[in-house]
Amino acid sequence: MTAPIHSGLLHITLKRVFLSVSLIIRYTKILEKLLIYLFFDESGQRLVQIDNIQ
């Protein structure tokens, strides 16, 4: 009787870990997009000057 309970708990914990990891990945992607947008929005001219020098 204990083996199925343990496997069920393991399954639930794995599912929770997977969901939390997917949420973290999703939020990091959103934060990355926001950071890139803010970076280009604030210092776009600077990036253009660096490209012109190269």
Per-residue model confidence (pLDDT) at position 17:
94
Q: What b-and-e string marks burial along 13-48, b requiring 16 or more CB atoms within 10 Å of the CB?
A: eeeeeeeeeeeeeeeeeeeeeeeeeeeeeeeeeeee
Tell me: the pLDDT tens digits for 33-43?
Answer: 888 777 765 55
Per-residue model confidence (pLDDT) at position 30:
93
**In the chain, which stretches have pLDDT less than 50?**
none
Per-residue model confidence (pLDDT) at position 37:
77
